[in-house]
Amino acid sequence: MEKSAKRKTFLFAAFFIVFFMGFYVISRWAPVAGDDWVYASAGRWNNPFVLTYRMYHIWSGRILSEFWGFTVAVHKELWNVLNAFLFTSILFLLLRLGKGEMSRWTLTDFFLTIALMLSVPNHLRMQTYTWMMGTTYVMPLFLFLLLVYSMSFFQKSSAIKWIPWICILEFCIPLYMENAAALVALAQFLWLLQAWRMRKKTWRIHFLFLAFALAGCALILFSPGAHMRMANDHAAFLSLSMGQKLAQNWPHFLARTFTDNVVLTLILLLLFAAASWHAFSSQKRVRIGIAVFFALAVILQNGWLDLLAVMTGTACIAQKEHHFEIPFVVICALGANLVMLASPIFDSRSAIYTVYLWILTILLLYRRIPVSKRLDHVVLAAVISLTCIYAGRYFEIYHMVHQISLKRDAEIAYYKTHPEEKEAWFIRYPDELVHSPDVLDEDVRHADAFRWYYGLADDLELHFYSLQSYDADSIWGKHS
């Protein structure tokens, strides 16, 4: 048994190293882009604490996100390692929270998690996986999963040593992102209710945790800069009634939560159907109704129906098991996106918390369903195939990105050594590969930041050209 456990530990450690190296490679191949230029240029020559304080008063209440930009974005090599570490740690936490101790993990669990992580929509990948300033969305995800992991130990042991650490997490996570702040406050409120309902002696300590979460929320919510930016940039949205805001963002909610995530939502609904079917094993009519309803949800791929299916599945499991785990994760997943209904911008990157909580839900559901060895082997073959397909796609995308980056680096080097040039031409990245790698027309802010970051002349006029095809010969050939 000891030898078997050691072999299993060694095998998973090897897989984690491969995963880390894969993420390190695509991080290294990803270019510095968009707001990366802005924050890195500012942070290179100024005090990051002063800059963060100033941004709080003129731009954003995301204190720790701003500080990240002024410190980490300056050092691309450091970010390459940190980004790979973050996603590897998120993979570990998902498995730990979804499956428990490593002794209970299976290869199916491991490759299912990786396949789902790689299956995210294109814009979510572009805006969070390989963009330095997009990591400000990933960091609170990692910290939230770490908070859930820490809270599980506190709830089991009630050890005082966990209290300061949990308070720090509760306070810091909201300082990264608005919907991360709402997510932490919601999760802590649910933990408080659970402790009070179960009459645990620790329920009073949860008030302390909630106070730290709300303090962080208040800091980001009442930022003078955030209010100033909202009034200047989103006055039209502010003028809408709450009903109009909800009507405008509800289609985005359904898309970001369900229909954009084709593979993830399909697996989620199938597992909810299987879990609900198993929960009502002695009631044939109920089982038939469950089968028909979930079949319609899977076939039609309608956001409203997906939402109803998830809520129905959660209710079925909660009714039969009287268990807090899955309802907690589902409520948090929906809440993280529901709060975005009040936001003027509901982009793909904001949905990263919901997407990853769905992955956790899938792991929890798969653990509850009785699966034969033969079926598990079929699932393993499927998820390994999916992982290989997605990994190949990622390699193809970022290998092309790397070739384009090398070409642009050569062009930048030319214009740095020829300051007499007044116009510069740089290769453009194809759409849907990486986030904001080119300067758009009349985008003065990013044009200035591009010149400052690469040390180009302030009066150099920037142009970006496209190629008809982006094979190696075309990239390194002459443009017309």
pLDDT > 70: percent of the chain? 98
Q: Closest Cα to residue 90, out of 145, 14, 152, 165?
A: 145
3-state helix vs strand vs coil in the chain, percent to 5: 75, 0, 20
Residue 368 confidence (pLDDT)? 83
Tell me, rounded to whole angstroms, the distance of Cα 211 from its chain centroid: 26
The label of the residue with tokens 């609170």 reads 140
**Residues near 438 by Cβ (< 8 Å), separated by ≥ 6?**
426, 428, 429, 464
Number of H helices, E strands in the chain: 22, 2
327 pLDDT band, cuts 50/70/90, is: very high
Q: Which two tokens stand for residue 342?
A: 């009040």
Q: Which two tokens stand for residue 372?
A: 């034969």
Residue 156 confidence (pLDDT)? 81
- Cα(402)–Cα(29) distance, integer angstroms: 5
- Cα(120)–Cα(135) distance, integer angstroms: 15
Q: Closest Cα to residue 166, out of 182, 155, 177?
A: 155
pLDDT > 90: percent of the chain? 72
480 pLDDT band, cuts 50/70/90, is: very low
Q: Which two tokens stand for residue 431?
A: 């759409």
Q: Which two tokens stand for residue 406?
A: 């090398």
Torsion of CA 163, 168, 169, 175, to 10 degrees: 150
Instruction: Report whether pLDDT(479) > 50.
Output: no
Residue 442, Ramachandran bin (φ over 0: left; ψ between -120 and 50: alpha; else beta): left
Q: Closest Cα to residue 347, out of 255, 439, 264?
A: 255
Beta strands in 209-252 (DSSP E): none
DSSP one-letter string for 334-378: HHHHHGGGG-S---GGGGHHHHHHHHHHHHHHHHHS---HHHHHH
Q: Which two tokens stand for residue 147?
A: 């908070």
How far CA 304 is from CA of 128, 205, 253, 300, in Å, comes to 27, 38, 10, 10
Q: Other CB atoms closer than 10 Å to residue 327's CB: what's the count?
A: 16
For residue 287, the one-letter residue type is R
The three-state secondary structure class of 425 is: strand
Residue 322 confidence (pLDDT)? 66
Q: What single-letter DSSP state applies at residue 279?
A: H
125 pLDDT band, cuts 50/70/90, is: very high
The three-state secondary structure class of 195 is: helix
Q: Other CB atoms closer than 10 Å to residue 468's CB: what's the count?
A: 6
Q: What single-letter DSSP state applies at residue 427?
A: E
Instruction: Report whether pLDDT(478) > 80.
Output: no
Per-residue pLDDT of 219-274, as tens digits, reads 999 999 888 888 888 888 888 888 998 999 999 999 999 999 999 999 999 999 98
- Cα(110)–Cα(388) distance, integer angstroms: 13
- Mean pLDDT over the full length of the chain: 92
Q: Which two tokens stand for residue 213?
A: 């979460």
